Amino acid sequence: MKGVLAMEGCAERYVYQGVHMLFTGETLSPWGDAPRINRLVFIGKNLDRKALEEGFASCMVNVYQPAK
């Protein structure tokens, strides 16, 4: 999994990477006037897209509506 997250209370982009059970993350440049969005890429086989979207949405401050 790789991604950029907009975390509540953090003015910088949080870049995240995970492989198997190893996860790393760090803050990068400030969001500034750019839209604060979350982007994650899941790399794998036979992934349950709906379960991943719902799990991620349950962690968000603003309600996310998964694609149908």
Mean pLDDT value of segment 49-60: 86
Query: Following CA atoms 49, 17, 13, 52 in sequence, which dihedral angle do they give, to the nearest 10 degrees?
Result: 10
Sheet strands side by side (includes 12-19): 22-30, 12-19, 2-5, 39-41
Q: Are 57 and 67 in contact (CB under 8 A)?
A: no
Closest CA to 36 of 62, 1, 2: 62
- Give pLDDT tens digits for 3-53: 999 988 889 999 999 998 899 999 999 999 999 988 989 888 999 999 988
Q: How far apart are CA 43 and CA 18, in angstroms?
A: 10
